[in-house]
Each structure stands twice: as structure tokens, then as C-alpha cells.
Amino acid sequence: MKSFPTLCLLFCLAASIVWSQTKGTITGRVLDAQTREGLPSVHVVAKGTYYGAATDANGNYTIANINPGIYTLEVSIIGYKQVQNTGVKVVAGETLTLDFKLEETVLTLGQEVVVIGEKPLFDIEETSSRRNLTSSEIQAEVVENVTDIVANQVGVVKTDDEVHIRGGRSYENAYLIDGISVQDPLSGTGFGLQLSTDAIEEVEVITGGFNAEFGKAMSGVINVKTKEGASEYKGSIAYKRDHFGFDSGTPLLGEFNPENRHSFNTDIVELSMSGPEPISQYVLRPMGLDLPGEFSVFGNLYMSTSDSYLKHSARRL
């Protein structure tokens, strides 16, 4: 009879060993990207699951008893950019070490997300139908302004210079630049979206299922994020026109004559400049005023002239 408790103890011990071998562990440390010090109370969560942990006073964390599989770890704390590490593979009986370095930000939590690894094709927590286009994707398209970019998306139709999303009226859309509404109060359209494509960092088009933060939108949301200044000076200049001064009798090239009925006599000039802000660096600093942080500027000039229908209209485009 004395051997029965011993057998039960051995059975429980063996079961616990087998249980531990079927689970995995993720451990690591979360640091400040600038000071390299550990950050306490940072949330480290596996998206779509109940697995998660908070860092201690030294920035260390441990997520134990995780089922084997591939996860996306989300690291977040107020005052820092949110980080997502995709494709994290957990193996049974092994411990995976992942360290994170968070960058400071003044934006609201979740407004800036740094993705480490490949961006997943589908976000299981996404409830809206949205399309995000970056500046590199926009440069690869033949578009002139925000309206042209939006018109190329699924579920969007452009007719008579009006944008209709999912069959809704043009004034039922919400138009925002950097989160600020630029909707015309009279017509309800986005006449404030007269931006050059070279000044756009990202365009977000939401065609359905948007959150309550877009309370004035009934059909869709068009949110434009403008570019920020770079750490080094750089710029670009472009000039476009639909007439090149060829004689109207010249074969093929005569179509670009300014007197041709197919030409609107259009000229477009675009200038962009980006870099560190010069006043604080070359004026205030020699005066002994050293402002904390780094400042940068971005400027864009866009000018378009066209005869359009005031002089004559093109019979064929």
C-alpha cells in the first residue's frame, strides 16, 4: 500500500515532464533604442492568442507554455513606437530568445507600427476593407494626384471628377490629411486633397467596415499621410507638358503642337526639397541655443497651367 503514493507521484512527475516537452517558451529583453536601457511594464503579446507577458524592472520578459506554431509578437508601451515581429516560430521543448529595441514617438499608441519580418497577407484582427499604398508604390503608377490614386482601387469609381466608393455619393466619403479632415463644408467633397504625388508618404483607402473614429463617413475613408523631412538634404524637380513646339504638319510629332486640337496646352512644374531644419542648426546653435531633439523640414511646390475648355477642348485624348 505504501508503494501506491509513490507510483502516483512518479506518474504525475512523468506527466509534467511530457507536458513541458510539448510546449515552448519565448524570452528576451526590451530596450530603449537610444539609451540601451531596459524598459519596464512593456506588453509583449502574441497576436490572436491569450499568450503574453509584461517586462520587469530590467526589461526582461518570459512567455511560457506556448503551443508550437508560428506567431506574430506585438510589443507596445505608451510613448514608444509599436513593434510587430512576424513569423516567430515556437518549437516544442525549446526556448526562443527575442530582444526588441523601441523608438520614442509623440504619436498616440498604435499610430506608428514597426514591422520586423514579412508583412502578413491577412490580418486576422482587421475588421475593415482597406488598402494602403506607400510612396514607392505610388511612384510606380501613372497618377497625377490623390484622386487618381484612389480611383485605381477596388470598389472605387470616378465619374465627372467625383469619387464614389461602393456606390455611395461623393459627399458621403471622409477626406483626411495626417488625420485632419479637409472635407469641403459646402459640397462635402475632398477639394482639400490637392496634393502632388511626390508629397505623399502613404495613402489609406477604407471602403467598408471602418471604425467609429470616422464618424462622419458613410461610404468610405481616404486618409493621406504626407512625407516628413529627411536626415540629409535631397530634392527633386520635374517638368511635364503636352506640347513640344513641333509643326502641326510633322507626322506623329505634330500631335504635340500647341495649336493642335488634341492638346490642352498644359504645363506642370513640381519641386520638392527635404532635409534637416537649418535655423536651429546654423543660427540658434552658434548663439548658444541648443534645442533638444532633431528637426527636419519637407516642402513641395506644384504648379499646373492649362487652357482646358476656356480656349478650346481636345476632341480626342
Residue 20 has a pLDDT of 46
CATH code of the domain containing 102: 2.60.40.1120
Residue 29 has a pLDDT of 94
- Domain check: are 205 and 159 in the same one? yes
Q: Which structural domain, as residue segments, surrounds residue 297?
A: 234-311
Pick out the chain residues at pLDDT < 70.
Answer: 1-21, 106-112, 117-128, 188, 190-193, 215, 243-263, 293, 308-317
Whether 124 maps to a domain, the answer reads no
Q: pTM of the prediction?
A: 0.57
Residue 49 has a pLDDT of 87
- Domain check: are 44 and 91 in the same one? yes
Residue 171 has a pLDDT of 81
- Domain check: are 218 and 269 in the same one? no
Antiparallel, parallel or unpaired: β 69-76 and 60-66:
unpaired
Residue 27 has a pLDDT of 93
- Domain check: are 220 and 247 in the same one? no
> What string of DSSP letters covers the chain?
-THHHHHHHHHHHHHHHHHHHT-EEEEEEEEETTT--B-TT-EEEETTSS-EEE--TTSEEEEEEEPSEEEEEEEE-TTB-EEEEEEEEE-TT-EEE--EEEPB-SSPTTSSEEEESPPPS--TT--SEEEEEEHHHHHTS--SBHHHHHHTSTTEEEETTEEEETT--GGGEEEEETTEE---TTT-S-TT---BGGGEEEEEEEEE---TT-TT-SSEEEEEEE----SS-EEEEEEEES-----TTSTTGGGG-TTSTT----EEEEEEEEEE-HHIIIIITTTT---SS--EEEEEEEEEE--HHHH---S--
- Domain check: are 172 and 220 in the same one? yes
Residue 254 has a pLDDT of 47
Residue 315 has a pLDDT of 55
C-beta of residue 300 within 8 angstroms of C-beta of residue 271: yes
CATH code of the domain containing 197: 2.170.130.10
Residue 181 has a pLDDT of 80
Whether 39 maps to a domain, the answer reads yes
129: its cell numbers: 476593407
Spatial separation of the C-alpha atoms in residues 63 and 33, rounded to whole Å = 22
Whether 58 maps to a domain, the answer reads yes
Whether 1 maps to a domain, the answer reads no
Q: Indicate the number of domains in the chain.
A: 3
Residue 10 has a pLDDT of 55
